[in-house]
Structure formats: C-alpha cells, structure tokens
Structure 1
Amino acid sequence: MKALWYLRKTIWKNQIKKALKRPTTYLFLVLGIFYIGIIVAGIGTVAATFQFDSAYGFVILMTIWSFYMIPANFVSYAGRKGIIFRPCQAHFVFTAPISPKRILLDTAALNLGLSIVGGIVMSVIGVWVFHLPIWRAALMFLLCFVLEMVLECSLIIIVYGSDRFADGKFKRWGIFIKGILIVSAIFFLWYFKENGISLKSAAELIEHPVFRLLPVVGWDISAFRLVILGPDRLNVIGTVLYLGLIILLTLMAIRIKNTGAYYEDAAKFADDYQELRNRSKRGETGYSLGKKKKFRTVKGNFGGGAKAIFYRQLLEYKKERFFIFDSMTLICVVLAGVLAKMMDRRKKECRGWL
C-alpha cells in the first residue's frame, strides 16, 4: 500500500509542478472558478424566477443530476473505460506483489475525488441557493454521494477484477443500459407531448411511482428524497432497495477472486491513452480510445509563420463530420430548446406553484 501511495503522490507532485510552470494553468484556474460561479448564480436566478428555491426545487435538481451521472458511469464501467490506467502502472505496479483489487481502487482514486468534489458543490448549492439546513445537506452528502462511491468501487472491482468478465461479456450490460435510456427518452418525449412542457408536468413525472422505483437511479433518487423531504412509502422502499444493492455488491466485491486477468487489457489501455495524450499535445483532434474514426478528406494550405499553427488546427477540425460539434452538442441544443420553451410559454402558470 505504501508503494501505491508513493506512486500516486509522485504523479500528483509532478503534474502540479508541470502545471505551475505553464501560464495557461492560472488562466484556466481563473476561468474555471468564474465558470462555477456563473453556474451557481444561474441556478439561483432560475430558482428565484420560478419560485422553486426550496427543498423540492433541490430535489428536481438532484433528480436531473442522478439521471445524467449514474447511467453514464455504469455504461463506461461496463465497457471497461471508466478508469484511466497509465504506462507507469503497467511497468511498475502490475509486476509488483500488490493485490489486483488494491490496484483497481488506487486507479479509481481520480473518479472518487471528482465525485467528492461534485458532492461538496451540490451540498453547497443546496444550502446557499435552496436554503437546506446544514445538517440535511451533510446527511445527504453522506447517504447519497459517499454510498454512491462505495457502489462504484464495488462495481469496478466486479467488472474489472472478476475473471468471469475478462472476455468482455459485461459489455452486454452497457448495451442493455443504453437501451433502457433510449426507451426512457422515448417515454419522456411522449409524456411531455401529451401533458405539455411545463414545470408542473415535469414535477408530476418525477412523482410517478414507476419513475421513483427505477433500478439504481430511482432508488438513489428515493434516498435523497428521504433525506430532503422526509419519509414516505416509496422513499423508504427505494432507500431500502438502494442500501440492499450496495451491501450485495460490496459483499460480492470482497468475496470475488481476482488473479489480475485484467492486466493485459489495462496495459493496452495505458498505451492507447498515452498515444491519445501525445496526439492531443500535437494538436490532432478526433481520436478516441480503442476506436478508429473515419475522417473526411480535406484540402488546405498550412501557410507560413504563425498562421501555420492556426490553419493546421483548422484542418484537423475540418476532418470531422460535424466540424467542432458532437453528440453532446445535439443534447445541449435540445435541452436548451426545451428550457427556452418552458420559460417562454409557462412562466406565468408556474409562478407560485412550488
């Protein structure tokens, strides 16, 4: 364990030293703080405008957060792409007499750190914007975010560490989860078409028993509803199921045998990841881990002098099918359109409803 901690500490120390030597680090740090401030202020403005800066409004925000984060994490873990292995691990850690489970947990440290930061930010938003008592925000952080990390750690050990899933059979679960998301999206479109796009219809959807008892996501929603709004029958049932799932996966992760069969795939992932970073440093875009993308044929001239840097980057973007846009752009456009329509047509109807 000391060797893993030394390696992790050395990696962080070297990354910080390199970052502090680059002037762009300070610029991105200022922009990042400014961006977070804008998001928090924007959430507060929207909540005050529609008068749902209350505990129930925070439930709506947390519901959106859960539906965005949990399925995405499960899909990435099912495809064995949820955690990042580095070449230094393949060279120094995999060959050391260290438990493969400990190596997995150490590698997932970055994911867990981001989850903790996200949980702290959401708790601060709950207290500052939605006026939650501090003890409720703290209890929600412990019950939802800490237990969610335990769930993710158990799932990582089962998916990556189990020799039974070494042949990629667990990827079928990723396809299954994607299918559930597609069916859910179709259902949401039909529901809003029948009931109209408004905060009231969205709140009625959130209160639906089927919605609140969806496996994993719905159970997680029931857990923080129990903390924020208090107990009711569905909240208690969903929370008990959520805790039961966490206990079951934790026991499976503890008892499962691991011989390090994932080392070969992890070493290949580390090489691909390093190559991707090298391409990114050279300004080459459109590459992803483990996939060979097809590009368009483009023509252009790099020019001379400083213009060569700009036009070379521009040509890289032109190779993409949709230039600088991707699937996330389409999702953001659709969500922006829905929100704009809600704010334009239903603002007067929704005032004072929550």
Structure 2
Amino acid sequence: MTLLKAAIIGGGHIADSNHIPALKQLSERVEIVAVCGRDLAKARAMADTHGIAHAFDSTAEMYKQCTPDLVVICTPNTLHYPQTMEALEHNCHVFCEKPPATTAQNARDMATLARQKGRTLAYNFQLRQTSEWRLLTRCQTDGLMGDIYHIKAHFLRRRGIPGWGSFTDKTVQGGGALIDLGVHVLDLALCALGYPNPDQVVGNTYDYIGKAGGKGLMGNWNPDTFGVDDAAMAYLSFPNKASIMLSASFALNTQIDKDRNLELFGTKGGVRLFPFTLHTEVAGELADIQFPYLDEVDIQLKNTEAFLDACAGKPSNVCTGEQGAILQEVVERIYQSAEQ
C-alpha cells in the first residue's frame, strides 16, 4: 500500500490532541510530513513533539516543498474556505474541521471544486463513529424504527462559554453556540433523515448571558466584546412532513452543566441515543430495550479511518462535501431567520 503524505494546517489544540495522534495510529496508511501554522516557532515545536520532519508558516511553501496528498485543516472557521480551496487546487484530499465554512455559498463552492478535481472533501463530525450511532443505523436498516418523522437534537452547556481563543468573535468564527456545538447534533439529525434540505426554517438566537457576564465553567469571557450567539433554537420542516427541533447553547440557565443528545421518533420505534434506548412494542406490550455492552471507541481515530477510506474510494460514512454544503445552508438559514 502506498503511503499518503499528510500535512496539518493549524498548530493548535485540535491538531495536537485529535488529528495528529489519530493519523500516527494509522501509520501503515499515511505519513505526516508537515505542520503549518501562523507561528513558525509553535509549528516547529509541535512538529518536533510528534516527530514530523517539516514545519512552515506559509502554505505556499509547504505545498512547494512537501507536495502532500492530503491536508487536515484545523484553523479558525473563516479560514476553512480559502485553505480548502487552496488545497484542492493543489490536488489534495481535504479533511476539514467543522463547521464547513461561514457561508453556504463558500461550502457549495468547496464541494463543487472537490468534485471537479476528483478529490475527497470531508468534515470532521466524529459523532458518526460512536457505537450508539452505528447501532441506530443498523436499527434503521433492520426496520426497527420504521419511518423517522421527528427528531429532537440538542447540545447544551449551562455556562460553557470558552474563555480562550476566538470563540466569542463573530468575525473569526461566523457564529457561536449554533456553529460550534449545534452543528454536531444537526449533522446526525440530517443524516438520520437522509440529509434532505428543509423547506421551512424558523430560528432564534440569544446573547443575554454572554453580554451580561457571570460565572463561567470554561474560563472567563469578556462580556463587552461578546459578539456571537450564546444560545440558538430552531425548528426545521421537510417536504415529507419530517421535522427537527434543534437547541444549542454556550450558556443557558439549565440544570445540567453539559447535555448532548438526540431523540428520534419513528413509526415503529423511537430511540434516545445516549445512552442508547430503543422504545418500541414487543409481543403487544410497550418495551424499552437497552444495550449495556456497546463498545467504547476512539471516534477521532474511526473518523480519520473513514476519511482515508473515502480517499481510497472505499465505502465510508464520513461527512461529505455535499452534505457539508447542505448543513451550512441550514445553519445560514437559522441565523437569517433569527435576524429577520
């Protein structure tokens, strides 16, 4: 098997803790040849820590010297579009952190160029690799759910506004809780329905706690410069009458510090995803079926494997460029609805 040469763009925590360790575990398939970051010293330090030969502060120089086969993009949201387009122009496969971009048009352009170049563009929505999600897809295939017609999806933090980085800067992130947290469960909800485009979107966003300040559980933030949504709520309706209720928050006056889950309602059965419980009818009686022996999996490793499978033309459940474009359009429509 020919080793693919991989380059990491972005020298922060996500690259260091998630992507590089996963790629190194797949050393029979891929070799990391370079790290590129805005700060050359930090990029060099990260490369040295992980035994990577090259470090750059210029993507142009990186492509010239290393000619990677694929790039992993771990940079702020506004950089996803230009860096993905540049990588595709260099005929690289691209594994991009979520969200796909900050506008729907950018996400569509990324998907179009990937298709034209014959390259794989995928997004790092790791929850697709959980044992619970894989079990749900088997339940769907086996007909235990029937037709799914409503989904409740939420990713909530009580007081989890990040007190570091650029998470509260709209010019860098493009949004707040919805675009950072909500997209994870939105991706799963859309997946369960076959990734359709909704015909109706109604959304509201809020920033009351973010702008007021208060006790934080993930560091302190500056309420005077808080410029994103600290909570977002949306209702999506689809042409076949299926619907999704979506909730996301950095800060919400609720009981649990962090709560992430999906409830899926079908004509034959329903599922609460974490922990997995199937609500159905057995032998004429209502039944709640639990699955206590699901395996713990390294979801970043599995998602990286899925990306490499897609690059090799093998079956894969990684989030595609086309799906990312649909998701980004939904996010944009929620924000537009909230503004209007």
Q: TM-score normalized by structure 2?
A: 0.29
- Choose between structure 1 and 2: higher strand proportion: 2
Q: Higher RCO, 1 or 2 (CA under 8 Å, sep at least 6)? A: 1
Q: Which has the larger radius of gyration?
A: 1
